[in-house]
Amino acid sequence: MSIGVFDSGVGGLTVHHRLVERFPEADFIYLADQANAPYGGRPGEEIVELTRAGCVRLFEEGCDLVVLACNTAASVALRRLQQTWLPGYRRDVGRPVNVLGIVVPTIEAATGLPWEHEAQWREEKAEKLEILGVFSTPATTRSRVYEIEIDKRRQDVAVFSEPCPELARMIEANAPRDELAATIQGHVKALATRIGRNPDRAILGCTHYEIVADLFQAALPPGTPLIRQPDATADALERYFARHPEFQPGTGAVRRFLTTGEPGAQNSLVETFWGGPLRFEPA
């Protein structure tokens, strides 16, 4: 089988890149829904429907496992699809297909705890000691998934999210680095103003932002640790394969890149990050 990697656009390539390094022999098909990107400003129902359509496309290409390398899709759509659509779809296709997200691995990395960890509630609620900043799309911010799930597990961590409504679109559109830097500085400042100080650690909670992680690093106080979604997802997938030997990720080192948008080369920002040219086929 192939592993499908899905995002609204090029952001998920940051996760794909790390998965390929971690599983070099595995077969990968990447799907960018660039005809409908960005997802971050869309209503929830649309995000659910677009994510479902992306998964179907990848399953039809022969993937048995799809990784939603998109916080917006994972935080808004994944649970709904797992509960209401996937069981019936599995029955219809007669294969044990599955969809995984990147929010759970990120929360595991941020808390240092496995997802199943039950919060150890103490008599008195612990004083919040550490401030964790999350930069994400408006839809991910609205879902409050990072606040809710981290608060359940770590009472000593307070999460504050900053929505960045224009950033994924700017990255898709190859915006100049100085414009990207100014936008990112604005969001880092806005978050610090709201909290009253800078965060101690940060999550780049949109996979597009990993492409400009250096600009976030430069805008945050020196040395602020960033929780890296590509690493967290690769670690989680390794554990998943160990628990689910029925999913065999192939051995042909297949690399295909599909887009619902304009096929062909991707923009220079993406190619610089990728380290070379990258050609997409029509989905």
Give contact residues for ligand DGL (rule: CB under 6 A): 7-9, 11, 37-40, 70-72, 137, 140, 168, 206-208
Torsion from C-alpha of 253, 6, 235, 23, nearest 10 degrees: 0
Considering the candidates 55, 63, 70, 164, report the single residue annotated as catalytic. Answer: 70
Identify which of residues 67 and 131 has a Cβ nearer to ligand DGL in the complex.
Answer: 67
Among all residues, whose Cβ is closest to ligand DGL?
40
Taking the C-alpha atoms of residue 155 and residue 164, their distance in angstroms, rounded to an integer, is: 26
Phi-psi region of 275 (alpha: psi -120 to 50; beta: other; left: phi over 0): left
β-pairing verdict for 264-265 and 279-282: antiparallel
- Nearest to 168, CA basis, from 49, 269, 274, 250: 269
Residue (40 or 155) nearer to ligand DGL, CB: 40
Query: CA–CA separation, 212 vs 181, rounded Å?
Result: 9
Least CB distance to ligand DGL at residue 28 (A): 17
Burial 247-256 (b: 16+ CB within 10 A, else e): bebbeeeeee
The nearest distance, CB 196 to ligand DGL, in angstroms, is 27
Query: For residues 9 and 133, which CB has a smaller minimum distance to ligand DGL in the complex?
Result: 9
Considering beta carbons, is residue 138 or 186 the nearer one to ligand DGL?
Answer: 138
Helices (H) and strands (E) in the chain, counts: 13, 11
Shortest distance, position 81 Cβ to ligand DGL, whole Å: 16
Nearest to 67 by CA among 145, 115, 4, 109: 4
Q: Identify the bridge partners of residue 279 per DSSP, sorted by sequence position.
A: 265
Of 55, 63, 164, 206, which one is the catalytic site residue?
206
Name the residue among 123, 124, 122, 130 with its Cα closest to residue 150: 130
Output 8 or 98, the one with its CB closest to ligand DGL.
Answer: 8
Single-letter residue type at 217: Q
Give yes or no: 55 in active site. Answer: no
- From the list 40, 15, 31, the residue with the least C-alpha distance to 228 is 15
Between residues 12 and 249, which has the closer beta carbon with respect to ligand DGL?
Answer: 12
Catalytic (active site) residue 206: yes
Could you tell me the two tokens for 6?
């899905």
Taking the complex as a whole, how short is the minimal distance between the CB of residue 268 and ligand DGL, in angstroms?
19
Annotated catalytic sites, by residue?
A: 70, 206
